[in-house]
Amino acid sequence: MTIAPDTAGTTAVETVHLASAGLAAAEVLAVARRGARVELTPEAREQVAAVRSHIEALAHQETPVYGVSTGFGALADTAIEQPMRQALQRSLIRSHAAGAGPEVEREVVRALMLLRARTLASGRTGVRPVVVETILALLNAGITPIVHEYGSLGCSGDLAPLSHCALVLMGEGRARDTEGTERDPRELLLEHGIEPLVLEEKEGLALINGTDGMLGMLLMALADLDELVRTADLTCALTVQGLRGRDSVFRPELHGPLRPHPGQAASAANIYALLEGSPILSEVAAAGSRVQDAYSLRCAPQVAGGVRDTIEHARTVAERELASAIDNPVVLEDGTVTSNGNFHGAPVAYVLDFMAVVSADLASIAERRTDRMLDKARSHGLPPFLADDPGVDSGFMIAQYTQAALVSEMKRLAAPASVDSIPSSAMQEDHVSMGWHAACKLRTSVENLRRVLAIELLTAARAVDLRRPLAPSPASIAAIDVLRRTVDGPGPDRFLAPDIAEAEARLLDGSVLAAAEGVVGRLR
């Protein structure tokens, strides 16, 4: 891939070169979220063309081959004559584009398309090069098929979502342009000089038989959680100071040497660094007050550390899936075309569910810290609900209600999707992964986690401000300064929803975290 600086002065992927060897997670994110261009390498094109010759040879022999000269699923034993095979592939896409419900986000659809192109470019699926190139042409033109939330069972691939994408390749279905306006797909293709695809043997099946949707959502969730788990260390450090807690429990000798979970050690090191130089905590240490803080403060590294370790496990699964060629049937190196079950989404579904569990728990402990700052019996000198004039003002009382509502939903979303299975296709597909559903609920959970942390940020910043003239640590000052550019400090009650939205926006754009890291270095 080619790297070029973006307008923010960081690095961004300008062009992704799609080769037979596949993609890196960063390249998927660049295309899905930042609109990077994609080009098929000449070597990959040659490989795809060479493998296609095997499929064309099989298409002309008398022995039926699944996906090439037969029907699909429970109709796999039905032979299809040569004149009807284009119609077979076309009908497959039309019938399988049966999604329903809300539209899936643009970045999910772009990741879905790119990851399917990645598998097709591996030379294991037997499609013509033009199929891969047409997908890339849609991505580069900013044409986004409309895909619906419901339709995939996470087995036999993300069939319905991928079919909605394939339908647009044919000039059918529904799509949006770069501005998000729905337009006729054929009109959009012609506008960008893209010839609608006429599918040949096996190509319809190859376009829809993969775990690309659930994998794309996993990759994006991992990127978001990488940042949010560091943000949780920052909001925790602010809360420790707001509650006049103790920093001694975050000392490194209490973590790595005594309990060698790498995530725990990283989280403790982050919080300890963020608290360094805090006059609030120096005053606490001099007073020699409480011996121990509540679990939501003292055990923060154990929880956030467990989240980190789970992220790393999920990343391992994602990297393995990125290195996979998911299709059925698949073309082996010797040219043999054989059926398999690699389209089953179980490995991805399990970690998607696991990530929803740890996301909910990270939100839960943050909500408990927030509640503690609002309770005058437990906040060690702060006014009730951090109100300016308690009684007249309610302060952040209802902000905590919002947190509690978000956490409650996240706990429901933590119920695993992958333990469910509803047989389909006349019992031919009698066990499915529900990985797509696991991915969709994880995306909601990640969004809610960001909102929960935004409310802790608001609350802790206000609590720290109320400790004046004692100041927080330099890293905390830097983070609060960014927040205060758009959110005022303590004062009488005001419309609170915009403040919550602003705090969420500052977490989404990474500016609060970046300010703190500008003082202590990049957190682990």
The answer regarding whether domain 2-210 maps to CATH 1.10.275.10 reads yes
| pLDDT on residue 6 | 39
**Of 153, 432, 210, nearest in space to 327 by CA:** 210
| pLDDT on residue 425 | 81
- The model's pLDDT over 123-137, given as tens digits with 9 standing for 90+, comes to 999 999 999 999 999
Question: Start-end ranges of CATH 1.20.200.10 in the chain?
Answer: 217-520
Please give the C-alpha separations between residue 155 and each of 66, 70, 119, 269, 300, in angstroms, as whole numbers: 17, 20, 16, 41, 37
pLDDT band at 1 (very low <50, low <70, confident <90, very high): very low
Residue 45 has, within 13 A of its CA and on its CB side, a CA count of 10
d(CA 480, CA 459): 11
pLDDT band at 285 (very low <50, low <70, confident <90, very high): low
Mean confidence (pLDDT) of the chain: 93
- The model's pLDDT over 188-230, given as tens digits with 9 standing for 90+, comes to 999 999 999 999 989 999 999 989 999 999 999 999 999 999 9
Contact between 72 and 50 (Cβ < 8 Å): no
The two tokens of residue 235 are 């909001």
Angle of helix 212-242 versus helix 435-465 axis, rounded to 10: 20
What's phi and psi for 22, nearest 5 deg?
105, -155
Q: Label each residue of 440-467 as H, E or C.
A: HHHHHHHHHHHHHHHHHHHHHHHHHHCC
What's phi and psi for 280, nearest 5 deg?
-60, -45
Could you name the CATH architecture of 217-520? Up-down Bundle (1.20)
d(CA 358, CA 345): 20
152: amino acid identity, one letter? S
The two tokens of residue 374 are 């609002």
CB atoms within 10 A of CB 60: 10
| pLDDT on residue 127 | 95
Q: Catalytic residues, which ones?
A: 66
315: amino acid identity, one letter? R
Average pLDDT score over residue span 170-190: 97
The two tokens of residue 276 are 């360094």
- DSSP for 464-500, please give it: HHTTTTS---HHHHHHHHHHHTTS--S-S----HHHH
Average pLDDT score over residue span 407-418: 97
- The model's pLDDT over 6-40, given as tens digits with 9 standing for 90+, comes to 333 344 558 999 998 889 999 999 999 999 999 99
Sheet architecture: strand order including 37-40: 2-5, 11-18, 37-40
Taking every pair of Cα atoms in the chain, the longest distance, rounded to a whole number of angstroms, is: 89
- The model's pLDDT over 346-371, given as tens digits with 9 standing for 90+, comes to 999 999 999 999 999 999 999 999 99
E-assigned strand segments in 251-399: 330-331, 337-338
CB atoms within 10 A of CB 412: 11
Question: Start-end ranges of CATH 1.10.275.10 in the chain?
Answer: 2-210
DSSP 202: T
Please give the C-alpha separations between residue 325 and each of 69, 85, 152, 320, 342, in angstroms, as whole numbers: 22, 24, 19, 10, 8
Lowest mean pLDDT among 305-309, 427-431, 485-489: 427-431
- The model's pLDDT over 140-169, given as tens digits with 9 standing for 90+, comes to 999 999 999 999 998 878 999 999 999 999
- The model's pLDDT over 226-275, given as tens digits with 9 standing for 90+, comes to 999 999 999 999 999 999 999 999 999 999 999 999 999 999 999 999 99
